[in-house]
A and B are shown apart, each in its own frame.
Chain A
Amino acid sequence: MKLTKSEQTYLELGSLYESYGYDKFLMRKFEEYSLYLENKNFLTSEHILTFNDPGGKLMALRPDITLSILKNAKNKKGAQKVYYRENVCRLDKRSMQYVEIEQLGIEAVDSVGTATLLEVCELAKKSLEAVDPDYILCVSDMEYVLGFLETVKGMDEGATERVMSFIKSKNAHELYLELTACGVKEEYAAEFSSLIMFSGTNGEIFEKAKALVLNQRMEKALMNIKSMTSESAMPEKVKVDFTLMNDISYYNGPVFCGYVKKIPRAILTGGFYNRMAQKFSKTCAVGFALSLDELDAYYGENPEYDVDALLLYDSEEAVKKALRLAESMRSTGMSVRIEKSVPEGIRCREIIRVDSD
């Protein structure tokens, strides 16, 4: 059987994650709804498919994997490293229909230190490479932007939201206006705004960002970014991108996002979500998810033929002959289909008519 791109990727990456000591984690398809209700900001959408179990408990078709892993890890001691291949059920914002999305990912809970950061980055890169050697992993540390924002005194909740939105969309012109309206000096606002747009080398971005450091939080973040880019086996595949910002109620620290050449959107997202982990009595957690769904659509092969040979028998007497012929052809590696007449729309390399004579 020919494996699809998503199946090949899963097999390759499953072995890779296991070679790094990650255990396969299998979970139920549904969870109690309360888990998502209590952590709804962590989810990409508030729309969750629910149902009542026979006991009357409100259950939900899982819209997220990370929460289930944290819930499972809550009462376990020590560091845990797991990988998974699971489906999540989410509302597609364009079609406004629920869709099942297949994800392959890893999570490292309570495994602290630079080693984990670099290991997860390395695995993210290898995961993208398994899909397509032409990939880019964007990295950042949210603390850099958050460290800057804490220095801006005149910023209310609405302004913070707008600033975050302008950063995420690389909207430097409106970011500049918002920052100056909040009292940031024009020169600094202009430099900071141009930093999020800057498309130079990592070294150039790093120098530009270094000049804008205002506190230890920003400095530490920059060190993390430097580690992720410079201590990498393939530094040219890693790009610094300060627009990577996840929900600050849950995420903090390093974040990453990966692209492959043929897919027009990020297929890998992840980062540290220590704030979320702390809600489950853990100190830190990091992980990423790779979307397997789109791989077959963009990397799938469309074979020229559905089947190598189509055997057409003209009478009941010819059936045995057709079956024998098909079997011998299959033994040579061909795919063979037997029919009485040509099925509509079939594409076959050759049609062989088997008669009773």
Chain B
Amino acid sequence: MLNIALPKGRLGMKVYDMLADIGYECPEILEDNRKLIFENKKNNVRYLLVKPSDVTIYVEYGAADIGVAGKDIILETMPDVYELLDLGFGKCRMCVAAPVGYREDTDRVLRVATKFPNIAKNYYMSKNREIEIIKLYGSIEIAPLTSLSDVIVDIVETGTTLKENNLEVIESILPISARLIANKASSNFRADEIGRIVSMLKNRKNEV
């Protein structure tokens, strides 16, 4: 039985559609209920619907053989997993944003509010800039508007939320997209099956 961890929500369903197309169908997952584990014995597959930020943990600890996680989560948590394929969707950017017209005072420590402290820390370390990280769990955009921070480091998809809160992107850190990840032990013991999935998903991606 191949265990696949999918992020709950729209992204997870998109991935499921792709996997169903290549032979890992499990129609029960499409039913409107609160179940989190779905199994199709005929196709020898079990799906686990988990919080997007937990997919890497399920895969790293072997509860799932493979999974799909955003590059932002992978960089933030640095899981000991293989990153086998860029699925090419869920695209957005990790950016530094600040109030419109903001000018950085390089004479003092920069206060950075973010849900991604490790990504922010590594980015500013590469620029040798002294920062203070303020870890938040949501509504990051409020932080610079209330002087909690100078800037924010966050994911930007369309930029609408920033615009509506009078913020703008001042630096782009890196592009983000959904990645297929795999547990290292499973990758060895189920090398053929996982290799086949990667190859079929790659072909499907190229066809789109």
Chain A residues within 8 Å of B, Cβ to Cβ: 134, 136, 138, 158, 169-174, 197, 199, 239, 241, 243, 259, 261, 263-266
Q: A169-B81, A173-B85, A197-B198 are in contact. Are A259 and B61 (CB under 8 A)?
A: no
Q: From residue A42, how far is it (CB to closest CB) to chain B in Å?
A: 19
Over the window 191-203 of chain B, the binary record of Cβ atoms lying under 8 Å from chain A Cβ atoms (1 yes, 0 no) is 1101100100000
Q: Which residues of B contact A136 (CB under 8 A)?
A: 188-189
Chain B residues within 8 Å of A, Cβ to Cβ: 60-63, 80-86, 126, 182-189, 191-192, 194-195, 198
**Does the CB pair A264–B192 fall under 8 Å?**
no
Q: A197-B198, A199-B191, A199-B192 are in contact. Are A265 and B84 (CB under 8 A)?
A: no
Q: Which residues of A contact B62 (CB under 8 A)?
A: 263-265
| Cα–Cα, bound, A136→B184 (Å) | 12
A-B contact pairs, 29 of them (CB 8 A): A134-B189, A136-B188, A136-B189, A138-B188, A158-B126, A169-B81, A169-B83, A170-B82, A171-B83, A172-B84, A174-B83, A197-B195, A199-B191, A199-B194, A199-B195, A239-B188, A241-B188, A259-B184, A259-B189, A261-B189, A263-B62, A264-B63, A264-B184, A264-B185, A264-B186, A265-B60, A265-B62, A265-B80, A265-B184
Q: Which residues of B contact A171 (CB under 8 A)?
A: 82-84
Q: Which residues of A contact B187 (CB under 8 A)?
A: 170
**Does the CB pair B84–A170 fall under 8 Å?**
yes
Q: A169-B82, A171-B83, A173-B85 are in contact. Are A266 and B192 (CB under 8 A)?
A: no
| Cα–Cα, bound, A290→B143 (Å) | 48
| Cα–Cα, bound, A315→B83 (Å) | 67
| Cα–Cα, bound, A128→B80 (Å) | 21
Q: Which residues of B contact A138 (CB under 8 A)?
A: 188
Q: A171-B83, A173-B86 are in contact. Are A263 and B185 (CB under 8 A)?
A: yes
Q: From residue A48, how far is it (CB to closest CB) to chain B in Å?
A: 20
Q: Which residues of B contact A197 (CB under 8 A)?
A: 84, 195, 198
Q: From residue B151, how far is it (CB to closest CB) to chain A in Å?
A: 23
Q: A169-B83, A173-B86 are in contact. Are A266 and B191 (CB under 8 A)?
A: no
| Cα–Cα, bound, A216→B198 (Å) | 33
Q: Which residues of A contact B126 (CB under 8 A)?
A: 158
Q: From residue A170, how far is it (CB to closest CB) to chain B in Å?
A: 4
Q: Which residues of A contact B194 (CB under 8 A)?
A: 199
**Does the CB pair B83–A264 fall under 8 Å?**
no
Q: Which residues of B contact A199 (CB under 8 A)?
A: 191-192, 194-195
Q: Which residues of B contact A266 (CB under 8 A)?
A: 184-185
| Cα–Cα, bound, A136→B185 (Å) | 9
Q: Which residues of B contact A259 (CB under 8 A)?
A: 184-185, 188-189
Q: A197-B195, A266-B184, A266-B185 are in contact. List 14 more A-B contacts (CB 8 A).
A: A170-B182, A170-B187, A174-B83, A197-B84, A197-B198, A243-B82, A264-B60, A264-B61, A264-B62, A264-B183, A264-B185, A265-B60, A265-B62, A265-B80
Of chain A, the residue at the smallest CB distance from B62 is: A264
Q: Which residues of B contact A134 (CB under 8 A)?
A: 189
Q: Which residues of B contact A169 (CB under 8 A)?
A: 81-83
Q: Which residues of A contact B83 (CB under 8 A)?
A: 169-171, 174
| Cα–Cα, bound, A151→B192 (Å) | 32
Q: Which residues of B contact A172 (CB under 8 A)?
A: 84
| Cα–Cα, bound, A259→B187 (Å) | 10
Q: From residue A206, how far is it (CB to closest CB) to chain B in Å?
A: 16
Q: From residue A204, how far is it (CB to closest CB) to chain B in Å?
A: 12
Q: Which residues of A contact B191 (CB under 8 A)?
A: 199, 239
Q: Which residues of B contact A239 (CB under 8 A)?
A: 188, 191
9 smallest beta-carbon distances between A and B, as pairs: A264-B62, A199-B195, A170-B82, A199-B191, A171-B83, A259-B185, A169-B83, A136-B188, A173-B86
Q: Which residues of A contact B86 (CB under 8 A)?
A: 173-174
Q: Which residues of A contact B192 (CB under 8 A)?
A: 199
Q: From residue A129, how far is it (CB to closest CB) to chain B in Å?
A: 15
| Cα–Cα, bound, A136→B187 (Å) | 11
| Cα–Cα, bound, A307→B62 (Å) | 33
| Cα–Cα, bound, A171→B191 (Å) | 16
Q: Which residues of B contact A158 (CB under 8 A)?
A: 126
Q: Which of A197, A199, A239 has the most CB of B within 10 A?
A: A199
| Cα–Cα, bound, A173→B186 (Å) | 21
Of chain B, the residue at the smallest CB distance from A196 is: B82
Of chain A, the residue at the smallest CB distance from B77 is: A94
Q: From residue B50, how far is it (CB to closest CB) to chain A in Å?
A: 16
| Cα–Cα, bound, A243→B81 (Å) | 12
Q: Which residues of A contact B185 (CB under 8 A)?
A: 259, 263-266
Q: Which residues of B contact A173 (CB under 8 A)?
A: 85-86
Of chain B, the residue at the smallest CB distance from A261 is: B189
| Cα–Cα, bound, A243→B187 (Å) | 12
Q: From residue A92, how far is it (CB to closest CB) to chain B in Å?
A: 12
Q: From residue B184, how far is it (CB to closest CB) to chain A in Å?
A: 6
Q: From residue B26, how far is it (CB to closest CB) to chain A in Å?
A: 22
Q: Which residues of A contact B85 (CB under 8 A)?
A: 173
| Cα–Cα, bound, A172→B187 (Å) | 15
